[in-house]
Amino acid sequence: MIRLLSHPLSPSTPTYPGTPGATFTPASRIADGDVSNWLVFTTQNHAATHVDGPWHFNPHGRRITEIDPTEFLFTSPVVIDIPKGDDEVITGDDFAAHAAEIAGSDMLLVRTGYGPRWRSTDPERFRSHGPGFHSSAGEYLIREQPSVRAVAMDFISAAAQVAEAEGIEFHRTVLGRSPGDRYIFLVEDARIDSDLGPADLGFVVMAPLLLEGQDGGQVTMLAVPPSFALGGGR
């Protein structure tokens, strides 16, 4: 079974404090006598499951439409369980404890359990008190794990509200600071279910919304199991 690793965008989608949500305005409805159904929506590009590309924090970084599409395919994804609660941060030591699991992987799906617990039941808590990353976590990945090209997380942002400076430094470390720097994609507010495991992770396809010249955008991610076969997949 192909698994969805993204949350849909809706007017009720929780967004990072201080940033706007989404609005959906029906423009045409068959029920009202129109020919078809369609709507007008407004949003920001960091609402719901979305990818941070290099230009998000690196002024010299590549825009999302400048990136080769092959970079959005991940053939060695792995789920890493790092339980965290309100306002806690993931450190380099947290990642080092999973060094053997991370080695050789190209995408880390960081499962803290925070999103499944609070995203729907307490959206305000989810958006305002979620976990984040300490700068040491980024330093560890860049220094010790050369194969990692993306980190997805089940919380709203890599920057926790209570440790925003550390979160900003983490972003800068993994997204690059200078021309030509290595970068690691960040997928925030990802759907990482409690039962997602190795049997689901043959490869991951990440399909970002292609906003011309922008730093990132909403992304649909699919986990395809090792058993999947084209033409008769299961």
Residues 134/166, Cβ–Cβ less than 8 Å = yes
Q: What is the mean pLDDT of residues 126-145?
A: 98
pLDDT in tens, 3-22: 999 999 999 999 999 999 99
Reduced to 3 DSSP states, what percent helix, strand and coil does the chain have, rounded to the nearest 5? 25, 25, 50
pLDDT grade for 130, boundaries at 50, 70 and 90:
very high
Note the pLDDT of residue 230. 64
Q: What percent of the chain has pLDDT over 90?
A: 97
How does the average pLDDT of the chain come out, rounded?
Answer: 96
Note the pLDDT of residue 228. 87
**How much is the pTM?**
0.96
pLDDT grade for 232, boundaries at 50, 70 and 90:
low
Rounded distance, CA 219 to CA 216, Å?
A: 9
pLDDT grade for 231, boundaries at 50, 70 and 90:
low
Topology of the domain covering 3-224: Glucose Oxidase; domain 1 (3.50.30)
Which of 176, 174, 177 lies closest to 150, judged by CA? 174
pLDDT in tens, 192-204: 999 999 999 999 9
Note the pLDDT of residue 219. 98
Phi, psi (degrees; rounded to nearest 5) at 74: -125, 120
pLDDT in tens, 69-123: 999 999 999 999 999 999 999 999 999 999 999 999 999 999 999 999 999 999 9
Q: Is 164 helix (H, G, I), strand (E, B) or coil?
A: helix
